[in-house]
Structure 1
Amino acid sequence: MTYEDLWRPLAAIYGSGEAKAIVRYVLDVRFGMSTTDVYCGKVTQLSAEDCHELQKMTDRLMKAEPVQYVLGQADFCGRTMKVGPGVLIPRPETEELCEWIVSSNEKYRAPDTFSEKETCNIRPAILDIGTGSGCIAITLSLDIPSAKVSAWDISAEALSFARLNAAALCAEVTFETQDALVPPDDTARWDIIVSNPPYICQRERTDMERNVVDHEPHQALFVPDDDPLLFYSAIARYAARSLKRDGRLYFEINPLFAGDIQTMLHEYGFTMTETRSDSFGKERFIKGVITGRKQ
């Protein structure tokens, strides 16, 4: 097989540019080939065993299976996360959400500069709701070293991947099986709550790529057309009582409902709401602050 033999059939699914990128990514991650190696024709020098493995991977890609599932990993914030069928693949946009949270909470990032008493008082309690692969919770645990991070998901399969990722990256995260729609009766427990909940309406499926619709877990993607704020409302209601004074709620959002979500946050008592756009210029993130609550 040549490089062209590998990418050209995939072009029918992804287009030539993305097909080439996918093949180069596979050759790099699984077979250690640089771009220079690929263009110098080293694909033709693979052993018979490697050729067999590459063919099996190509067969899966031809069924529009995401390359991250084929490789069993995804890149996120400069780290490698294990993924597989049953867990949502981390997106670059979600990296931007993590970067916003970390940069907005600089006071928590240097525990070595605090006295023991100060450290105890300044350790933020962070909750990631709907953790999936654990990418958000793990990133915040590692990039805000003083934080005490917990993460919820309803999927046992997702939590299994999340625990594996946390162990592999030496991140201290407490994972719990918890339905976001039926949260516990907590009061003033968290400093930060973050969630990237299901937010794609069923009617939007026709505009989505086959590799997403056919392979990624629908419970992590879709909400009913008649209740697009299903998860946002449940999480915001929980956050309104479970965040400490001046606690912050961060969401990744469907840009179609940015205004509706902002209005909803105000109704639940959040102030100082702020929306941010992703690198594609879409309103993708929102933050709300709970003020005035006694500790």
Structure 2
Amino acid sequence: MLLKNYRSQFAQELASDFDEKEIESFFYIILEAFHQMKRIDLALDPMIEMDAIQLYQWETVLAQLREHKPIQYILGETEFYGLPFYVNENTLIPRPETEELVAWILSNATASKSGLPLKILDIGTGSGCIAVSLAKNCPDAKVYAIDVSEKALATAQKNADRNQAEVTFLQKNILETEDLGQQFDIIVSNPPYVRHLEKAEIRRNVLEYEPHLALFVEDTDALLFYRKITELASRNLSENGQLYFEINQYLGKEMVGLLEHHNFKNIELRKDMYGNDRMTLAVKP
């Protein structure tokens, strides 16, 4: 079968579940994964035939897409901040908003006043996308990353190895941690922040496949992780050290209040590309 002809069949099979733009995105992601071809390559060579094995691969992916399994989990990888990352059911799929957070950190990352390499800590690292991206783009920094999940840390280590990034990974339950053991210049976290009351807003592919441990917090204590990490940052950030969070879009004011309560200064609440309150920066006095 001609690949260009299969494209129409592929789109028809998914039309009842996804919009046209999303189906097109799926098609070209798979095209690159299976055939190492981009959109322009197919346009220039429209008579490419698929053999039986390739057709079976496409049909296998199509069946999983119809079940709303994320394409990133189907293929086992994704791209974040220009780097390749393995992902699986033990890690959240990295999102574009988090790339904005990484870009913000990198834009502010300056040499430590002590003259020593910057020390950066990523709390709740998951796939390692934040820690690895920072290590890759700040090669002189010492980057550490914490997660409660042993399986997530195994994936994060694979991603560090894949991208030749130096990151020290530690298994730790941050809620049971009283001290981080050393001082850092930058602490960043994208902790669980979706309240159960917001489940109705979550798409099926996220709700059914991504790890709830990394997604949800109780409605009655939505800032649980932020409060604990801010308390730790009060002790374990160096003077003028920076604390970054990715946050629940509905809790921007509450986050600013939390940071003010802990006497942080230069607090900034920033919107993401979609116009939602999504990240904060605060500086330790």
TM-aligned CA deviation for residue 240 of structure 1:
0.8
Is the CA contact (8 Å cut-off) linking 2:111 and 2:118 kept in structure 1? no
Question: What is the aligned-residue RMSD (CA, Å)?
Answer: 1.8
CA distance in 2, matches of 1:3, 1:201: 39
Residue 204 of structure 2, aligned match among 204, 207, 210: 210
CA distance in 2, matches of 1:33, 1:188: 47
* Amino acid corresponding to residue 150 of structure 2 in structure 1: A
CA distance in 2, matches of 1:174, 1:24: 35
Partner of 1:190 in structure 2?
A: 184
Task: Give the alignment of 1:28-47 within 5 angstroms.
Answer: 28-38=32-42, 42=46, 45-47=49-51
User: 1:175-211 CA distances to partner (integer Å, 9 max, x unpaired)?
Assistant: 0111121124246611110000111111111111111
Residue 26 of structure 2, aligned match among 12, 22, 28: 22
Moved over 6 A (4+): none
SS in 1 for 2:221: coil
SS in 1 for 2:69: coil
SS in 1 for 2:283: strand
Identity of aligned residues (%): 38
TM-aligned CA deviation for residue 255 of structure 1:
1.5
Partner of 1:249 in structure 2?
A: 243
* Amino acid corresponding to residue 157 of structure 1 in structure 2: K
Query: Structure 1 39/59 Cα, relative in aligned 2: closer, same or farther at 3 Å?
Result: farther
Partner of 1:101 in structure 2?
A: 105
User: 1:129-152 CA distances to partner (integer Å, 9 max, x unpaired)?
Assistant: 000000000011111121100000
- My pick for the range that moved more, 24-33 or 207-216, is 24-33
* Amino acid corresponding to residue 53 of structure 1 in structure 2: Q
Number of aligned residues? 281
SS in 2 for 1:122: coil
Mapped pair 1:123 → 2:127:
no
Residue 10 of structure 2, aligned match among 6, 11, 24: 6
Partner of 1:164 in structure 2?
A: 158
Structure 1: tracts of 5 or more residues without a match? 109-117
User: 1:140-165 CA distances to partner (integer Å, 9 max, x unpaired)?
Assistant: 11111211000000111111110000
User: 1:27-57 CA distances to partner (integer Å, 9 max, x unpaired)?
Assistant: 1222223224545785871111111111111
- My pick for the range that moved more, 27-36 or 159-168, is 27-36
Query: TM-score, normalization: structure 1?
Result: 0.90
Partner of 2:229 in structure 1?
A: 235
Mapped pair 1:70 → 2:64:
no
Is the CA contact (8 Å cut-off) linking 1:8 and 1:19 kept in structure 2? no
Structure 2: tracts of 5 or more residues without a match? none
Is the CA contact (8 Å cut-off) linking 1:253 and 1:286 kept in structure 2? yes
CA distance in 2, matches of 1:79, 1:58: 26
* Amino acid corresponding to residue 130 of structure 2 in structure 1: I
* Amino acid corresponding to residue 218 of structure 2 in structure 1: P
User: 1:211-235 CA distances to partner (integer Å, 9 max, x unpaired)?
Assistant: 1001000111111111110111111
Is the CA contact (8 Å cut-off) linking 1:138 and 1:173 kept in structure 2? yes
Query: Structure 1 57/186 Cα, relative in aligned 2: closer, same or farther at 3 Å?
Result: closer
TM-aligned CA deviation for residue 90 of structure 1:
0.4
Task: Give the alignment of 1:172-187 within 5 angstroms.
Answer: 172-186=166-180
Query: TM-score, normalization: structure 2?
Result: 0.93
Partner of 2:83 in structure 1?
A: 79
TM-aligned CA deviation for residue 11 of structure 1:
2.5
CA distance in 2, matches of 1:24, 1:187: 46
- My pick for the range that moved more, 39-48 or 174-183, is 39-48
Partner of 1:143 in structure 2?
A: 137
Mapped pair 1:288 → 2:285:
no
